[in-house]
Amino acid sequence: MNQFKEMDCERIEATLPAFLGRDLGAEEAAAVAAHIDSCDRCRESLAAFAMLEHTLVARRSEVPPVDGFLPNLKTARVRSGFGARCFRAVTSIPGVAIVLVMWAVLLIGRFNDRIALAIADHTLAERAAAFAKRGLDAMVGVAGGDVWTLTAVYGALAIGLIVSAGALTMRLVRD
Amino acid sequence: MSNDQDRELVARALRGDGRAFRDLVGRHHSVAYAVVRAILGHQRLDDVDDVMQHVYLKAHQGLANFRGEAKFSTWLYQIARREALDVVSRKRADAVSIDEIEIASRAEDAPDVATDTRDTQQHVERAMAELDESYRTAIELRYMAEKSYEEIAELMRLPVGTVKTYVHRGKLELKRILSRPAWRERKGAMGA
């Protein structure tokens, strides 16, 4: 008889969380309620579950306000659309490398004579200078060929270099 | 209605309205917080704040990718879950040593008297750490985030019946853990 009672209590205890949460069907809930009325052990169990439920509910107060976790929206912009893709491209390592190569071509092309004289290995230096000169000529040709356009190209590349290097540094530091 | 409000807030946030973003995540903050707490558990409470900041940063940066096919809460839940799991996997080696310390302290260093609700909450918190992660997530969403079984089922992508089972079994397990002799000693101390 005691063994049956023990089994009964174990079965009833397993249903107590659902009983407390009103998740049992009417018939089963009535059977559990009847058992609890006549069983001290299960009544204690129910009280323990109710206490646990109360403690779990009280933990709601532990949720801190959202404001403490929000990013600085002035610096963290939403990355979307064409502008964001351009920004990511410019601030990527290949983006910075391309700008640096273009700068090298411009500078070597512009000062090719002086560079050739300054380097002992004239053949290599002349080859590099000639290559850069062709690159510069091509860039100037594409840009229209006058001195103002060339100045604009230098200016744009200077700004590009500063922005790319600065933004890349910020990304590396932040990540 | 709630989804429409979310969509409206998403659109405003994408136009650069910071207040709208705050309102948007504020509406679902408890879900994100509950899932991060559930995954990080009691041992990594110090990481919760960092993870939450990452969650909202990622949400802000990826807002343009939110298509509105799923609910915003589900989308945010997935980000929070991913971020928390990422921290857990990165710190797995550390966690082992922390767990060992935790177990040792349980055995040897039971607190003298636990008299207030805060202590009881801490006991439950520590017991929660021993639960299966699915049970813990379901319980945190149910109680900490105050979500219905249906909402939890949608977030966790599980049938409602499974969610109910997780919550009920989780509570049974919690009671079993709290009934161990070490926990009962503390309860006795409370009554003394």
Token couple for A47: 């009280």
Q: What does the pLDDT read at residue A120?
A: 56
Q: What does the pLDDT read at residue B105?
A: 40
* Most A CBs within 10 Å, among B72, B169, B174, to test the A interface: B174
Q: From the list B56, B168, B175, which residue is nearest A48 (CB)?
A: B175
Q: What is the mean pLDDT of the segment spanning A75-87?
A: 57
B84 shares its domain with B6: yes
Residue B27: which CATH number?
1.10.1740.10
Residues of chain B contacting residue A48, judged by C-beta atoms under 8 Å apart: 175, 178-179
Percent of chain A with pLDDT over 70: 61
Question: Which residue in chain B has the smallest CA separation from A79?
Answer: B61
Residue B148: which CATH number?
1.10.10.10
Q: Please, which pLDDT band fits residue B2 given cuts at 50, 70 and 90?
A: confident
B2 shares its domain with B75: yes
A22 shares its domain with A93: no
What's the whole-model pTM score?
A: 0.64
Q: Please, which pLDDT band fits residue A73 given cuts at 50, 70 and 90?
A: low
Q: What does the pLDDT read at residue A127?
A: 73
Token couple for A92: 């990527």
Show contacts of B143-151: CB within 8 Å, 24+ apart. B143/A56, B143/A57, B143/A59, B143/A60, B144/A56, B144/A59, B144/A60, B144/A62, B144/A63, B144/B30, B144/B33, B144/B34, B144/B37, B145/A63, B145/B30, B145/B31, B145/B33, B145/B34, B146/A60, B146/B30, B147/B31, B151/B73
B42 shares its domain with B81: yes
Q: What does the pLDDT read at residue A75?
A: 55
CB pairs < 8 Å spanning A and B: 100
> pLDDT tens for residues B126-162?
889 899 999 999 999 999 999 999 999 999 999 999 9
A87 shares its domain with A150: yes
The answer as to whether B19 is a domain residue is: yes
Q: How many domains does chain A have?
A: 2
A56 shares its domain with A15: yes
Q: Please, which pLDDT band fits residue B73 given cuts at 50, 70 and 90?
A: very high
Given B67, B96, B125, which residue is the final one in a domain? B96
Q: Please, which pLDDT band fits residue A112 given cuts at 50, 70 and 90?
A: low
Residues of chain A contacting residue B21, judged by C-beta atoms under 8 Å apart: 70, 73
Token couple for B174: 């919690």
Given B96, B126, B148, which residue is the final one in a domain? B96
The answer as to whether A76 is a domain residue is: no
The answer as to whether A118 is a domain residue is: yes
Tally Cβ neighbours within 10 Å of residue B56. Answer: 24
- Min mean pLDDT across A52-56, B12-16, B65-69 is at B65-69
Domain holding B186, by residue range, is 110-192
B134 shares its domain with B91: no
Q: How many domains does chain B have?
A: 2
The answer as to whether A15 is a domain residue is: yes
Residues of chain A contacting residue B124, judged by C-beta atoms under 8 Å apart: 52, 55-56, 59
A168 shares its domain with A92: yes
The answer as to whether B190 is a domain residue is: yes
Question: Which residue in chain B has the smallest CA separation from A82?
Answer: B64
Q: Which residues, including other chains, have CB under 8 Å from residue B95's CB and lie 6 or more apart?
A: B43, B44, B88
In the three-class reduction of DSSP (H, G, I as helix; E, B as strand; rest coil), residue B180 is classed as coil
Residues of chain B contacting residue A14, judged by C-beta atoms under 8 Å apart: 172
Task: Considering only CA atoms, give the Rg of chain A.
Answer: 38
Structure ipTM:
0.76
d(CA A3, CA B51): 51
Q: What is the mean pLDDT of the segment spanning B30-37?
A: 94
The answer as to whether B101 is a domain residue is: no
Does B192 have pLDDT greater than 90? no
Does B10 have pLDDT greater than 60? yes
B116 shares its domain with B90: no
The answer as to whether B105 is a domain residue is: no
Given B55, B73, B96, which residue is the final one in a domain? B96
* Owner of token pair 């379901």: B138
Q: Please, which pLDDT band fits residue B104 given cuts at 50, 70 and 90?
A: very low
Q: What is the mean pLDDT of the segment spanning A8-37?
A: 90
Residue A6 in contact with partner chain B when CB distance is under 8 A: no
Q: What does the pLDDT read at residue A151?
A: 73
A91 shares its domain with A168: yes
Query: For residue B71, how far is the Cα from the chain centroid?
Result: 19
d(CA B132, CA B149): 18
Q: What does the pLDDT read at residue A121?
A: 59
B134 shares its domain with B180: yes
Percent of chain B with pLDDT over 70: 79
Dihedral angle over CA of A17, B136, A55, B74, nearest 10: -100
> pLDDT tens for residues B106-119?
434 444 334 456 67
Q: What does the pLDDT read at residue B103?
A: 39
B89 shares its domain with B123: no
Does A101 have pLDDT greater than 80? no
Closest CA to A14 of A47, A49, A54: A49
A164 shares its domain with A100: yes
**pLDDT top residue among B33 and A133:** B33
Residue A47 in contact with partner chain B when CB distance is under 8 A: no
d(CA B32, CA B145): 9
The answer as to whether A73 is a domain residue is: no
Q: What does the pLDDT read at residue B138?
A: 96
Q: From the list A63, A80, A81, which residue is nearest B144 (CB)?
A: A63
Percent of chain B with pLDDT over 90: 49
Domain holding A103, by residue range, is 81-174
B145 shares its domain with B68: no
Given A34, A62, A90, which residue is the final one in a domain? A62
- Min mean pLDDT across A45-54, A64-73, A137-146, B72-81 is at A137-146
A115 shares its domain with A155: yes
A95 shares its domain with A22: no
Q: What does the pLDDT read at residue A134?
A: 76
The answer as to whether A162 is a domain residue is: yes
Q: DSSP per residue over A49-104, as a string?
A: HHHHHHHHHHGGGG---GGGG---TTTS----HHHHHHHHHHTSHHHHHHHHHHHH
B144 shares its domain with B173: yes
The answer as to whether B187 is a domain residue is: yes
Extract the runs of DSSP E, i.e. beta strands, from B33-174. Answer: none
B106 close to B130: Cβ distance less than 8 angstroms: no
B140 shares its domain with B74: no
